[in-house]
Every structure is written in C-alpha cells, then in structure tokens.
C-alpha cells in the first residue's frame, strides 16, 4: 500500500476542488500522450499551467513538479520528462485532501 501524501486545502475551496482534480487527471492523460509523441511543446504548455495553478489550490507539489517538467520540456529531455510525469501520476493516486 503506497504512503499517502496529505494536501491541506482551504475550506473555502471545497466546492472548486472536484473540477480542479478532474482537470489534473485530464492533464495526466494529455502528458502521457504528448510524451509518446515526443511533443515537447504540448508538454511545456501543460507543465507551465501545472506550475501556475497547483499552489493556488494548496497543491504545492504540483507547482514544484510543473516547474521541473517545464525545464525538462524546454530542453526536450524525454527521460527527465518521463520521470516527472510518473511522479505526477503517483501523486494524483496517493494524495489525500484535508480541508482546513
């Protein structure tokens, strides 16, 4: 059983969270497809968005991952991008939200 990653989200964002998480799953799908196609432009765009949006909802891990993935995409580093995407998939699977 993988360890849980706790994410503290402000109570006032409770209603916005389902939409946010749905979109993150959609991003994971798009990232995987883009990596298969070696489409670093698409990866860069999604990574940039992840970097910009994660922390705002309390998901600092997503912002940090987005930043690393953005750098990987910028240098067309497929291996580094794959690592980030794997970590991202794991995070989405393992995180647990606590409203504060």
Partner 1 sequence: MAAYPPLPAAPSAKRPSAPAEVLLVDDQQDSAVLIKHYLEKAGFMVRRVDTGEQALASVPVLRPSVVLLDILLPGIDGLEVCRRLKSESDTLDIPVILVTGMTRSEDRVRGIEAGADDFLSKPVNPEELVARVRTLARLTEMRRALEYERLEREVDQRRQMQRTFERYIAPEVLSEVLAAGNSPESLLARQTRTDAIALFADLRGFTRMSEMLEADRVVALLNEFFTTLTEVTYAYEGTVFNMAGDSLLIGFNVPLPREDSPTRAILAACTMQSQFQDVARRWKTEDHIDVGLGIGICGGPVVVGNVGSRTYMTYTMIGDAVNVAARLMQSAKSGEILISKNVLDRTDGLDAYYQPEPIEPILLKGKSRPIEAYRIAPVFADYEQAEDAPDAPAAAGNTMSLALSPQLLGDTATFS
**Given the complex with partner 1, which of 45 and 95 has the nearer CB atom?**
45
DSSP string, the chain: -PPPEEEEE-GGGGGGHHHHHHHHHHHHHHHHHHHHTT-HHHHHHHHHHHHHHTGGGT-HHHHHHHHHHHHHHHTT-HHHHHHHHHHHHHHHHHEEEEE-
Pick out residues in 57-96 that bind partner 1 (CB under 8 A).
57, 63
Binding-residue pattern over the window 7 to 26 for partner 1, x denoting contact by CB under 8 A = -----xx--x--xx--x---
Given candidates 32, 42, 48, 61, which one binds partner 1 under the rule CB under 8 A? 48
Contact positions vs partner 1 (CB under 8 A): 12-13, 16, 19-20, 23, 45, 48-49, 51-57, 63
């Amino acid at each position: 059983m993988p360890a849980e990653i706790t994410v503290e989200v402000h109570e006032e964002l409770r209603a916005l969270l389902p939409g946010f998480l749905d979109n993150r799953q959609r991003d994971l799908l798009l990232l995987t497809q883009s990596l298969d196609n070696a489409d670093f432009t698409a990866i860069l765009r999604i990574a940039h968005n992840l970097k910009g949006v994660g922390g705002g909802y309390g998901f600092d891990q997503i912002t940090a991952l987005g930043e690393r993935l953005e750098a990987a995409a910028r240098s067309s580093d497929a291996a580094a991008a794959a690592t980030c995407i794997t970590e991202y998939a794991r995070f989405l699977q393992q995180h647990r939200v606590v409203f504060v």
